[in-house]
Amino acid sequence: MEIFKDLASLGSLRGPVYLAIGIFDGVHRGHQALIEEAQADAKKTGGTAVVMTFEPHPMLFFQRSEAPRRLSNPRHKELLLERQGVTHLAVLPFEAARAGQTAEEFVADLRAACRPLGGVVVGADWRFGKERGGDVVLLRRMGGFEVDGIPAVTVGGEAISSTSIRQAVGRGDLVSAEAALGRPYAVFGPVVAGARRGHELGFPTANIVVDGLQLPPDGVYAVQARLGESWLRGVANLGVRPTISTDAARVLEVHLLDFKGDLYGREMEVQFFRFLRGEKKFTSLDELRAQIACDIALA
């Protein structure tokens, strides 16, 4: 997948260019519908489909203290889009200049960059530009390219959105999150060194950095972890580890069932499959060790 960091780079692509534009946090089934439409339009005309997104998340720019936790960090989003068949990704920096740009100015920039701009695919309720002044109506009024406003995809009569998925994950409803995503909910991050308590207990774990990501409730989960192109089964503990730690920070630790080796510095994607039990404080390390063995057997 080719990644562009500015609009000008799109001028090198074979036109017409079809843009699927959005934040794409989580790359859920609604996002997938936008991408598939842009890909189909490009295929019909011999053009190029491009997914266009923004970093950081605009809500981090406008509401840093109240911004929602993300379903996918930038690197994870790239991987999810690539698995969706995306071959060209434009990641535009969202900063003061972009935030202050009117909708008309933004569309003019798109038309100038793409040679030519064949179409724009967005969610039917998408708003953009200064003071959210742009919408599908404005896109069509400006003319000169196709505009597809894709209605929300629904599950069980409810519209899929990143917000609804965050809420489902936050309350531990992994079934609903999976239905909306089209895959099990997952987080992604680098493996960092921990206190090696798991190794001392006989069950070495990988500590995954999950800062800013939406997490399910604390507890023990049956998981699947992706390392490179391989998926490995595992057991994850999410929480404050009350038996072995006095630190209140939440930690995601993953014990892989059939793996031996050094994982430090590698990136890991962890899919949550099933909640096994809540986190609890044990009276001794032997009791904790016995419970971990039970968790592994159950997983």
Asked whether the bond before 116 is cis by omega within 30 degrees of 0, the reply is yes
Residues 7 and 143 occupy one common structural domain: yes
pLDDT band at residue 59 using 50, 70 and 90 as cut-offs: confident
Q: Does a structural domain hold residue 204? A: yes
Q: Does a structural domain hold residue 48? A: yes
Percent of the chain with pLDDT over 70: 93
Q: Does a structural domain hold residue 70? A: yes
Helices (H), the chain: 29-45, 58-62, 74-83, 96-99, 103-113, 136-142, 162-170, 174-181, 197-201, 285-298
Please say whether the beta carbons of 163 and 254 come within 8 A: no
Q: Can you give the residue range of the structural domain that contains 147?
A: 2-159
Instruction: Supply the CATH number for residue 226's domain.
Output: 2.40.30.30
pLDDT tens per residue across span 4-21: 999 999 999 999 999 999
The pLDDT value given to residue 11 = 94
- Six-digit token string for 236: 């994850």
Helices (H), 143-239: 162-170, 174-181, 197-201
Residues 291 and 218 occupy one common structural domain: yes
Percent of the chain with pLDDT over 90: 73
pLDDT tens per residue across span 205-261: 899 999 999 999 999 999 999 988 889 999 999 998 666 665 667 889 999 998 888
Q: Does a structural domain hold residue 165? A: no
Instruction: Supply the CATH number for residue 52's domain.
Output: 3.40.50.620
- Six-digit token string for 260: 């031996």
Residues 222 and 275 occupy one common structural domain: yes
The pLDDT value given to residue 260 = 82
Q: How far apart are the first and last CA of the chain?
A: 35
Q: Does a structural domain hold residue 169? A: no
CA 233 to chain CA centroid, nearest Å: 21
Confidence check: pLDDT of 81 > 90? yes
